[in-house]
Amino acid sequence: ASGAYPKRVKVVEVGPRDGLQNEKNLVPTPVKINLINMLSETGLQVIEATSFVSPKWVPQMADHTEVLQGIKKSPGISYPVLTPNLRGFQAAVAAGAKEVSIFGAASELFTQKNINCSIEESLERFEEVMRAAKEASIPVRGYVSCVLGCPYEGKISAAKVAEVSKKMYSMGCYEISLGDTIGVGTPGSMREMLAAVMKEVPVGALAVHCHDTYGQALANILVALQMGVSVVDASVAGLGGCPYAQGASGNVATEDLVYMLNGLGIHTGVDLQKLMDTGTFICNALSRKTNSKVSQASCRL
């Protein structure tokens, strides 16, 4: 049954990183910087700026230092960056990063295929980052991939998600973002997974990162909100396809999320019109249509 909703939700904008990283077309550095600057004007409080990963693996993020140094950082807005290891962390801090993110997974096979080691080993690698971050007083956000299903393993047990989340939280991550990486989750599996995770991590430290590959994202987010989650990741214009299903969509569109939250009377602080304008800008730059249905519709209300 639908219980009470949170009064406020923090929207974490992942378009410039997760979005652009998974787009076919590359955008030049000035366009990335302008995108982030426009997003900074919308009321969003958290904008994931880039990823300090080797350009050999992720060429779309090769300009990470220029982007982080080039953006106009608004006070009160956080610009976290991905740091897959200690070297990336150090480069990020040198470039001015004040918050970083690390990535775990609830699937052994996914971890193996993605970064060539086990979940246990990947978390050991991150211990170094956690230690350095603690010393530098830099907050660390933890992501858990494949929380509702894995492209290789298929079904993922809620207990495994809870176990990995607990580890990352105990290591010192202030927030754990639970990612439905291939978008296969439904309100049923979302509820089951969250119930397990909430036994190990306080709900105030949880976020959901839903992909819309099967059209389930907003319904899944709704259930998460009903269970007390108040941090939701999204990507402007729904940037970022799914690398595991060619041509299929990936991230949920921030515009569509904000539209829903507005309708629920939940405060986000985000100006939907400015957000849509930003989406229009980046879609033009990418020569692509928006994935946001709110943007596509032109009904007046």
Partner 1 sequence: QEPQASGLPEYIKIVEVGPRDGLQNEKVIVPTDIKIELINQLSKTGLPAIEVTSFVSSKWVPQMADHKEVMRGIKRHPGVQYPVLTPNLQGFHSAIAAGATEVSVFGAASESFSKMNINCSIEESIERFEEVTKSARNMNIPVRGYVSCALGCPYEGNVVPDKVAEVSKRLYSMGCYEISLGDTIGVGTPGSMKKMLEAVMKEIPLSALAVHCHDTYGQALANILTAVQMGVAVVDSSVAGLGGCPYAKGATGNVATEDVIYMLNGLGINTGVNLCAVMEAGNFICTALNKRTNSKVAQASFSTATIN
* β-pair type (140-145, 231-234): unpaired
Closest CB to partner 1 among 216 and 235?
A: 216
Residues 6+ apart with CB under 8 A from 45: 10, 11, 76, 77, 78, 269
Of the candidates 83, 267, 53, 47, the one whose C-alpha atom is nearest the C-alpha of residue 173 is 83
Among 91, 159, 198, 245, binds partner 1 (CB under 8 A): 245
Structure tokens at 46: 């958290």
**Candidates 72-80, 89-97, 157-165, 207-215; binding stretch for partner 1 (CB under 8 A):** 207-215
Residue 195 binds partner 1 (CB under 8 A): no
Q: What is the DSSP letter of 268?
A: -
How far apart CA 289 and CA 287 sit, in angstroms, is: 7
Q: Does 259 bind partner 1 (CB under 8 A)?
A: yes
We find the least distance from the C-beta atom of residue 151 to partner 1, in angstroms, to be 8
Site map 212..241 versus partner 1, x via CB under 8 A = xxxxx-xx-xxx------------------
Check binding of 4 to partner 1 (CB under 8 A).
no
The structure tokens listed for 118 are 């086990």
Number of residues that bind partner 1 (CB under 8 A): 44
Among 43, 187, 203, 277, binds partner 1 (CB under 8 A): 187
Closer residue to partner 1 in complex, CB, 137/298: 298
Asked if 165 touches partner 1 (CB under 8 A), the answer is: no
Contacts of the segment 38-42: beta carbons below 8 A, 24+ positions apart: 38/274, 38/277, 38/278, 38/281, 39/13, 39/15, 39/236, 39/275, 39/278, 40/71, 40/72, 40/73, 40/74, 40/77, 41/74, 41/274, 42/270, 42/271, 42/274, 42/275, 42/278
Residues that are catalytic: 242
Site string for partner 1, 264-293 (x = CB under 8 A): xx--------------------------xx
| Residues found near partner 1 in the complex (CB under 8 A) | 1-2, 183, 185-189, 191-192, 212-216, 218-219, 221-223, 242, 244-249, 253, 256, 259-260, 262-265, 292-294, 296-301
